[in-house]
Amino acid sequence: MSLNIPASSFYQKNKNKRLLDIEEKLEHAECQLKRKPIPQDFPISLLGPPANWKIFTKQDEALNYAQENGMGLMTFAFEERVPDSGGRRKYLTTHPSQMWIRHKSRPIEERCTYEVIPQSSKCKLYFDLEFSKPLNPQSSGEKMVELLIKATTYTMQEVFDAEVTESDILILDGTTETKFSQHLIFQSQNAVFQDNIHAGSFVQYLVNQLKESKVPNLSATEQQSLFINNDKGNTVSFCDLGVYTKNRNFRLFLSTKFGKNVPLIIAKNNSFRPALSNNEALFNASLISYFEDEKSVHQLLTFAKDVSGKSKHHDQKSLDPTLNGYKMSPWNEIDDFIMKLATPGTIHHWVYYEQSETIVYVIQGNRYCSSIGREHKRNQIKYVVNLPNATYYQTCFDPDCTRGVAQTIPPEYLPWHNLMGDLDAQTPDFDSVKKPNVNVASI
Ligand SMILES: [Zn+2]
C-alpha cells in the first residue's frame, strides 16, 4: 500500500478551521473575562480591595472592627435619615474604594458622610478654615488661604526641615453666601504626622506664631489678617483648632452637611493635581488617614505639647521680627562666632527681635542638640544670642528638648564690648554694657 499523500494534510484545512473557530471563541471569552473579571456588583477579589461593608451604631465598635480586620478598612460616619426628625449618625466600616463607589452614586443631599480619623493613626496635615462673611466684611478668604499656606510652608521648613509646596495641597471648598469654608489637605510625604493630636499641636504652634507676628516671611499686617471675628465677639484664628480631637469626624469630598445642599468641591484656588486625573483619585487624596502608597511614607512628624498646653521651647518674649535674612546678619562678628559653633553646619537664616534684642540663628547641616547629646533626625537646631547680656544658648525645634544653658560670648566677638572695656579700665564687664545696636556693632 502506498500513501504518498499523508492523511493529515488531507484533513488539515478542515481541522484548522474548526480549531480556529474554537480558539476564536475562547479568545473572545478570555478577552471578555479580562475586561470584566467579576460582576461589578460584587467587586471582591483576592488581590483587590475587600468588599466588607458593615454598619454600626457605635463608633468604637466600627473602629475596632476596622482595626481587627485590617486590609485597609476605614471607618466612616454618616447621617441616616429618620422620619419626622433630624439625622442620626451611624458608622460604616469599609474600604475607601467601596466607599467611593457608593458615595458617588448617592444623590447630593444624601451625601452626609465623614471620615473618622482614628486616634493614633498617622495622618496628613489638614486645616479647617472658616469665618462668617457678615461678621468679617473686610476679610478675603482666598487671600487669607494664600498667606496661611506661605506661613505653613515656611514653618514646616523651619521646624521639621520639611519641604512642602503649594501644589502639594488639596483645597476643598464649601463656601456659602454667609460663610467662608475651605479644607486644606497636605499631600506631601514630608507632611505626615504621627497622629492628628501631633498635627493639631503643630497648627496651634503656627497659630501662636502668627498671633505674635513671628513668622518672618509675612508682614505683621498679613499675619493679623488671619484672625477674624467670631459670633461670640472674640478675635480668633480662621483655622478651626477644634478639629484635632480623638476620632474626629471630618467631612468627605463631595459630601454636604445634613439638611444643607453644599457639597465640598475642588476649590478654584486649588493647585494640587493627582497623578490620575479623576474624582476617585481626588477622593483618596482628600482622606486624612488614608495613604494609597503606604511604603512612600518614611517619616512621621511629631510635635508634642507640654502639660500646660504650650509648646515649650519657643520662649523668646519679643514680638515683631524687625530684621531677618539669610546667611549673614549685620553682626558680622557674632555671625563668625555662630559659624564656628555650628561647624560643620552653617547659618541657614537669622531673625532679629528688636524688643528683646535677641538674634535667632537657624542652623543647617548640623543638628547636634545639647539637650539630647546627639543629632536630631529631623529637627533643626538654633542659637539664640542675647545682645545686651552678651550671652547665647543653643535650642532646637523639638518641643521635648530643653534649651541649653546660657553662656558668655567671648570678648573677641564683641568689638563694642572691647571698646567699652577699653574705656572702662580695660576690664570687660558684660553687665555694664547696655544697648549695643547695629551701628555700634559695625564700628
Ligand atoms: Zn533638641
Three-class SS string for the chain? CCCCCCHHHHHHHHHHHHHHHHHHHHHHHHHHHHHCCCCCCCCCCCCCCCCCEEEECCHHHHHHHHHHHCCCCEEEEEEEECCCCCEEEEEEEECHHHHHHHHHHCCHHHCCEEEEECCCCCEECEEEEEEECCCCCCCCHHHHHHHHHHHHHHHHHHHHCCCCCHHHEEEEECCCCCEEEEEEEECCHHHEECCHHHHHHHHHHHHHHHHCCCCCCCCHHHHHCCEEECCCCCEEECECHHHCCCCEEEECCCCCCCCCCCCCEECCCCCCCCCCCCHHHHHHHHCCCCCCCHHHCCCCECCCCCCCCCCCCCCCCCCCEEEEEECCCCCHHHHHHHHHHHCCCEEEEEEEECCCCEEEEEEECCCEECCCCEECCCCCEEEEEECCCCEEEEEECCCCCCCCCCEECCHHHCHHHHHHHHHCCCCCCHHHCCCCCHHHHCC
In a domain, 398, yes or no: yes
In a domain, 27, yes or no: no
Cα-to-centroid distance, 240 and ligand 1 (Å):
29
Distance set, CA 382 to CA 91, 183, 188, 217 (Å): 46, 32, 25, 18
Task: Tell me what pLDDT residue 310 has.
Answer: 45
Residue 331 and residue 275 in one domain: no
Cα-to-centroid distance, 399 and ligand 1 (Å):
8
In a domain, 113, yes or no: yes
Cα-to-centroid distance, 188 and ligand 1 (Å):
24
**Listed residues 244, 263, 296: the one ending a domain:** 296
Which protein residues have their CB within 5 A of the ion that is ligand 1?
Answer: 369, 371, 396, 398, 401
Cα-to-centroid distance, 349 and ligand 1 (Å):
18
Residue 387 and residue 282 in one domain: no
Cβ neighbours for 326, distance < 8 A, ≥ 6 positions apart = 347, 348, 349, 350
Range of the domain at 284: 53-296
Is the bond preceding residue 399 a cis peptide, omega within 30 degrees?
Answer: no
Cα-to-centroid distance, 222 and ligand 1 (Å):
30
Cα-to-centroid distance, 398 and ligand 1 (Å):
5
Task: Tell me what pLDDT residue 305 has.
Answer: 61
In a domain, 101, yes or no: yes
Cα-to-centroid distance, 442 and ligand 1 (Å):
32
Spatial CA neighbour of 78 closest among 92, 66, 98: 92
Task: Tell me what pLDDT residue 211 has.
Answer: 94
Residue 239 and residue 385 in one domain: no
Cell for 94?
A: 469599609
**Listed residues 296, 311, 343: the one ending a domain:** 296
In a domain, 107, yes or no: yes
Cα-to-centroid distance, 367 and ligand 1 (Å):
8
In a domain, 168, yes or no: yes
Task: Tell me what pLDDT residue 418 has.
Answer: 55
Residue 172 and residue 97 in one domain: yes
Residue 202 and residue 334 in one domain: no
Spatial CA neighbour of 224 closest among 320, 122, 291, 303: 320
pTM of the model: 0.67
Residue 272 and residue 329 in one domain: no
Cα-to-centroid distance, 261 and ligand 1 (Å):
49
Cα-to-centroid distance, 371 and ligand 1 (Å):
5
Cα-to-centroid distance, 372 and ligand 1 (Å):
6
Task: Tell me what pLDDT residue 246 has.
Answer: 92
Residue 155 and residue 268 in one domain: yes
Residue 370 and residue 418 in one domain: yes
Residue 82 and residue 125 in one domain: yes
Residue 325 and residue 292 in one domain: no
Cα-to-centroid distance, 401 and ligand 1 (Å):
5
List the pLDDT tens digit at each of the 443 positions of the chain.
444 544 444 444 455 666 666 666 666 655 544 544 333 334 445 567 788 899 999 999 999 999 999 889 999 998 877 776 667 889 999 999 999 998 888 888 788 889 999 998 999 999 999 999 999 999 999 999 999 999 999 999 888 888 899 999 999 999 999 999 999 999 999 899 999 999 999 999 999 999 999 898 899 999 999 999 999 999 999 999 999 999 999 999 999 887 787 899 999 999 999 988 899 999 999 999 999 888 888 778 888 664 344 444 333 333 344 566 677 888 889 999 999 999 999 998 888 877 778 899 999 899 999 999 999 887 889 999 998 889 999 999 887 888 889 999 998 888 766 555 444 444 434 333 333 333 222 22
Residue 331 and residue 289 in one domain: no
In a domain, 32, yes or no: no
Residue 287 and residue 330 in one domain: no
In a domain, 394, yes or no: yes
Provide the number of structural domains found in the chain.
2
